[in-house]
Amino acid sequence: MKVVREHYLRDDIWCGCETCAECKQDSTVLQRDACIESSLCSYPHYLVPDTNVVLHQIDVLEDPVIRNVIILQTVLQEVRHRSAPVYKRLKDIIHEQGRHFYTFTNEHHRETFIEREPGESANDRNDRAIRVAVRWYSQHLKTSESGPDGLKVVLLTNDQGNKQKAEENGLVVYKFEEYVKSLIANPELVDRLALSSDDKNDITSSKVLFPEHLPLSKVQAGIKSGSFLQGTFRASRDNYLEATVFVQGEGEESTEVLIQGLQNLNRAVHQDVVAVQLLPKNQWVAPSAVVLQDEGAAKDDNVDGDEEEKLSRSLTEAARKATGKVVGIIKRNWRPFCGMLNVSQIKESTRHLFTPADRCIPRIRIETRQASTLAGQRIMVAIDGWPKDSRYPNGHFVRSLGSAGEKDTEEEVLLLEHDVPHQAFSQAVLSFLPKMPWIITPEDMAQRQDLRHLTVCSVDPPGCTDIDDALHCRVLENGNLEVGVHIADVSHFIKPGNALDKEAANRGTTVYLCGKRIDMVPELLSSNLCSLRSNVERFAFSCIWEMNHKAEILKTRFTKSVINSKASLTYAEAQMRIDDANKNDDITKSLRGLNKLAKILKRKRIENGALTLSSLEVRFHMDSETHDPIDLQTKELMETNSMVEEFMLLANISVAQKIYDEFPECALLRKHPAPPPSNYDILIKAAKSKDVTIHIDSAKALADSLDVAKVDGFQYFNTLLRILATRCMMQAVYFCSGMDSDFHHYGLASPIYTHFTSPIRRYADIIVHRLLAVAIGADTTYPDLMDKHKQSALCNNLNYRHKMSQYAQRASVAFHTQLFFKARGILNEEGFVLFVRKNAIIVLIPKFGLEGTVFFDSKDKASPNLVFDEKGPTLKVEQHTFHIFDQVKVTISLDESNIQHQKIRMALTEPVIPGVSVSAPEAEPQAKKQKLDR
């Protein structure tokens, strides 16, 4: 079908050049003396890159040396069409004032617009459009007076044909490589060049290692006809020869397809969108339980036959899953990867393998002359392509992050890998902060309820500076209790739509790393103006209930208020006050009242089927000067922890109900979907091994059966079960009420839930505050707040940031654990078997909340006789059989053999299995321990 479109051509599109007298432009972007020192172009010149140059060489273009570039609309549109990330980066450069990148709308310019000729492909037409625009520019600049050695326009392209045609037209044209190599001042830019297709051939052997990818048209036809499936490729973290493709089906249904073997993986990289073809049923396999890491030497490009054989195939019918092979790539989702260089053994070689920190990403071959400096550094590398005759993808160096193993570098890597925005706040953002000294004006007071007389106090972990909640409780004249939860009124300081708000929305959450906090809002707000510190007047958003002594809510009220906290307590301090019978001041009485109600609330909640799950959280004691971890302990939970938690839950539920009633279409809520029953398999199997039955029909049944699950003489059993149960759960997510119908929060057994109580560290709470403020008439709406699609997009970002922050937090803990063990040497600890794998057991050390893998097969010595039984699951090593929950003793040490992935190594000491277990280390660590105990 032919579609007719209008296309207006204009006379009023200016060239953007400073010297031009013809164009009636208000402001110019391109400078008069556009000088990049280059041996090829000694005259001032503007660069015009074509689409492929932008797409592949964006890393070079991003360098501040490259200035005065004309980006044609044709190029911009093509880039936008082909790669969203590159497009975003390009736009960022264009917006940077100092870079002098000018976008020329050539498609709508009367003299540079061209029509597609019959028989001309879209690409050829675009190339021609680029040439026409370049010619226009060179003529335009010639006519305008620009001094003796006139400005010139240089077309940069990597396309041989395009270059030739441009030369025929008398244009100045260079290959991008040529041009970059000619730059006098910046030789290191050459390293960032992506490999163009004709360079690749000499890098790799001519042997074809992978099957050809099908062209997109065939892939699409296949997907339509149902012979291929489209899905997201997820490489396995543990096994580089295995991956799953997550296929989103119609509606709720989604399936996973297993991919095994290099040939079948066919150059797909983690997170790519791929097309897969299912293999015939008799070739289906089960996911292998082995842990495999790609350790192949850099030089060999051969896919070893025995590599494949390492995937010992399970023959049990039941365990087999749908298996397939990748036939085409629909969309690459490559980003720059952090990692380290494996310097080639050949000294003069410029080609080296790069090992990404993320184990889901294959190793990347890059070309650099700085290998010796880069060795031992953490660097970033981008993938350029993966030809079918290369064992590894080809990439190029982007930048260096610092020496590996250093805390700052590692933290940077961690933040980058988890996509945590961690730059300092920009001036634009800071300009929206209130001016200091900040005072409360009478107008502010008029809009708020004065609650300064109340005995409000806050209870937080020690060292907390961003206090976002405070509580009070008092007896009313009618004998009922008034309980108030006061939350920092962050939305008062962050007005919707300004730079501060946008930055906070993008960050989504404050990220807590060990000894470091990446704030969501600038410190002035997080630790001062919003923080509900004691004995200062602060704005709060209060949720006040009237309750009877059975903790039944009689009345709920929300108000913006001013409070004056009387005390900032830690959990321990609060606990001491409650327990100390001699203390009878107002704060203590208030705490006791709260504690009493909290216990009732908790009991009710548990009766309703709320789950109490468990995960071990560790806390490091940091050295105040070096910030190195000195000691490590699992977080201890006190009654007061749960007291605060109860009221926060109650406030969140009350607020969720209120905003949902007011805005059924656009309330921001949080849900926790019930996990599918299959998720519980591990838990049920594990419990069965100890003759305990777990019911999973409902949250209540699960909670009850967890409560009664006890084994005599094994008091840690219950905790272990709860840890396992936690891993069966789904992620709780934010969502917009207008876009979903299932609101249930499984874990809390609440029909509706949201986040209201931590606006300093979570952006979702700020939105909820705004919604609630509108609901009680304290504020007005703004467009984005009422737009369910925008809110849904925001929820997606928040969920992503939240997930990433958790990962980053875990990674940070892992890193600090390593630092800790590095200092400690070898330790000998008791632990429990948490999972049993085919060639390893995973052991949990309760004392450190640490999980580690004990491998039974290793490359350097003969493996012991291993018998794996999937039903148990149990693993028989020589004579000894390991079950889940078995108590074992292990030695813990830091394995520094691989600087990139330093890991905690565990080795078995008890039970003693000859040839497998090691002997316990001697007294030396013991002495150290005593030192710690003081």
Partner 1 sequence: MAGLELLTDQGYRLDGRKATELRKVQARMGVFAQADGSAYLEQGNTKALAVVYGPHEMRGSRSRALHDRAVINCQYSMATFSTAERKRRPHGDRKSTEMSLHLKQTFEAAVMTQLFPRSQIDIYVKILQSDGGNYSVCVNAATLAVIDAGIPMRDYVCACTVGFVDETPLADLCYAEESGGVSSLALALLPRGGQIALVQMDARLHQDHLETLIEAAMTACKGVSKVLDEVVRQHLQEASVLSRE
CB of 724 to partner 1, least distance (A): 43
Q: Does 787 bind partner 1 (CB under 8 A)?
A: yes
Determine which residue in the list 32, 91, 125, 557 makes contact with partner 1, applying CB under 8 A: 91
Determine which residue in the list 21, 40, 84, 553 makes contact with partner 1, applying CB under 8 A: 84
243, 295, 430, 535, 831 from 853: Cα distances, Å? 21, 18, 46, 50, 11
Instruction: Tell me if 634 sits within 8 A of 847, measured CB to CB.
Output: yes
CB of 854 to partner 1, least distance (A): 48
Determine which residue in the list 28, 31, 105, 409 makes contact with partner 1, applying CB under 8 A: 105
E strand or H helix that includes residue 217:
helix 216-225
Stretch that binds partner 1, among 103-111, 342-350, 569-577, 840-848 (CB under 8 A): 103-111
CB of 96 to partner 1, least distance (A): 13
Stretch that binds partner 1, among 6-14, 316-324, 652-660, 679-687 (CB under 8 A): 6-14
Determine which residue in the list 25, 32, 62, 80 makes contact with partner 1, applying CB under 8 A: 80
Q: How far apart are CA 416 and CA 380, in angstroms?
A: 10
Compute CA 763 distance to the chain's CA centroid, rounded to the nearest angstrom. Answer: 16
Q: What is the DSSP letter of 241?
A: T
Binding track over 729-768 against partner 1, x by CB under 8 A = ----------------------------------------
Q: Which is nearer to partner 1, 76 or 890 (CB)?
A: 76
Q: Does 7 bind partner 1 (CB under 8 A)?
A: yes
Instruction: Tell me if 111 sits within 8 A of 140, measured CB to CB.
Output: no
Rounded to a whole number of angstroms, the CA Rg of the chain reads 32
Stretch that binds partner 1, among 105-113, 161-169, 828-836, 911-919 (CB under 8 A): 105-113
Q: Does 923 bind partner 1 (CB under 8 A)?
A: no
CB of 108 to partner 1, least distance (A): 3
Residues 763-782 that bind partner 1 (CB under 8 A): 781-782
The string of DSSP codes covering 687-725 is: HHTTT-----SSHHHHHHHHHH---TT-TTHHHHHHHHH
Q: Does 207 bind partner 1 (CB under 8 A)?
A: no
Query: What sign results for the dihedral spanned by CA atoms 431, 435, 436, 441?
Result: negative
Q: Does 786 bind partner 1 (CB under 8 A)?
A: yes
Q: Which is nearer to partner 1, 216 or 932 (CB)?
A: 216
Determine which residue in the list 25, 28, 77, 797 makes contact with partner 1, applying CB under 8 A: 77
CB of 10 to partner 1, least distance (A): 6
Half-sphere exposure of 761 (CA within 13 A, CB side): 17
CB of 494 to partner 1, least distance (A): 18
CB of 13 to partner 1, least distance (A): 8
Q: How far apart are CA 13 and CA 104, in angstroms?
A: 8
Q: Does 588 bind partner 1 (CB under 8 A)?
A: no
Q: Which residues contact 530 (CB under 8 A, 6 or more apart)?
A: 466, 468, 488, 489, 490, 493, 521, 538, 539, 759, 760
Q: Does 224 bind partner 1 (CB under 8 A)?
A: no
Q: Which is nearer to partner 1, 479 or 783 (CB)?
A: 783
Instruction: Tell me if 218 sits within 8 A of 327, measured CB to CB.
Output: no
Total residues contacting partner 1 by CB under 8 A comes to: 29
Q: Does 929 bind partner 1 (CB under 8 A)?
A: no
CB of 67 to partner 1, least distance (A): 19
CB of 429 to partner 1, least distance (A): 20
Q: Which is nearer to partner 1, 91 or 592 (CB)?
A: 91
Which amino acid is residue 870, in one-letter code? E
**What does residue 277 show for φ and ψ, rounded to 5 degrees?**
-115, 135
Residues 8-27 that bind partner 1 (CB under 8 A): 8-10
CB of 497 to partner 1, least distance (A): 9
CB of 809 to partner 1, least distance (A): 33
Bridge-based pairing of strands 903-910 and 840-845 is: unpaired
CB of 781 to partner 1, least distance (A): 7
Query: What sign results for the dihedral spanned by CA atoms 524, 529, 531, 535?
Result: positive
The β-bridge partners of 840 are 855
193, 547, 562 from 450: Cα distances, Å? 63, 21, 5
Stretch that binds partner 1, among 77-85, 131-139, 622-630, 758-766 (CB under 8 A): 77-85
Q: Does 478 bind partner 1 (CB under 8 A)?
A: no
Q: Which is nearer to partner 1, 91 or 533 (CB)?
A: 91
Q: Which is nearer to partner 1, 84 or 554 (CB)?
A: 84
Q: Does 88 bind partner 1 (CB under 8 A)?
A: no
Q: Does 5 bind partner 1 (CB under 8 A)?
A: yes
Q: Which is nearer to partner 1, 107 or 503 (CB)?
A: 107
CB of 783 to partner 1, least distance (A): 3
Q: Does 783 bind partner 1 (CB under 8 A)?
A: yes
Bridge-based pairing of strands 469-475 and 481-488 is: antiparallel
Instruction: Tell me if 41 sits within 8 A of 152, measured CB to CB.
Output: yes
Stretch that binds partner 1, among 87-95, 213-221, 376-384, 909-917 (CB under 8 A): 87-95
Residues 140-169 that bind partner 1 (CB under 8 A): none
Q: Does 216 bind partner 1 (CB under 8 A)?
A: no
Q: Which is nearer to partner 1, 105 or 612 (CB)?
A: 105
572, 573, 574, 582 from 579: Cα distances, Å? 10, 10, 9, 9
CB of 98 to partner 1, least distance (A): 17
Residue pointed to by tokens 């905790």 = 719
Q: Which is nearer to partner 1, 108 or 903 (CB)?
A: 108
The side-by-side arrangement of strands in the sheet containing 827-836 is: 850-855, 840-845, 827-836, 887-895, 903-910
Q: Which residue, among 54, 62, 72, 80, has the nearest Cα to 15 in the 3D structure?
A: 72
SS3 track for 292-354: ECCCCCCCCCCCCHHHHHCCCCCCCCCCCECEEEEEEEEECCCCCEEEEEECCCCCCCCEEEE
Stretch that binds partner 1, among 70-78, 425-433, 527-535, 683-691 (CB under 8 A): 70-78
Q: Does 122 bind partner 1 (CB under 8 A)?
A: no
Token pair of 117 as six digits: 């000729």
Instruction: Tell me if 47 sits within 8 A of 68, measured CB to CB.
Output: yes
Q: Does 871 bind partner 1 (CB under 8 A)?
A: no
Determine which residue in the list 73, 126, 390, 565 makes contact with partner 1, applying CB under 8 A: 73
Q: How far apart are CA 387 and CA 391, in angstroms?
A: 8
Determine which residue in the list 18, 50, 78, 107 makes contact with partner 1, applying CB under 8 A: 107
Q: Which residues contact 334 (CB under 8 A, 6 or more apart)?
A: 269, 272, 382, 383
Stretch that binds partner 1, among 86-94, 133-141, 424-432, 583-591 (CB under 8 A): 86-94
57, 149, 607, 615 from 66: Cα distances, Å? 12, 21, 66, 51
Stretch that binds partner 1, among 81-89, 163-171, 390-398, 416-424 (CB under 8 A): 81-89
Alpha helices in 436-553 (DSSP H): 442-447, 499-507, 523
CB of 796 to partner 1, least distance (A): 16
Contacts with partner 1 by CB under 8 A lie at 1, 3-10, 73, 76-77, 80-81, 84, 87, 91, 94-95, 103, 105, 107-108, 781-784, 786-787
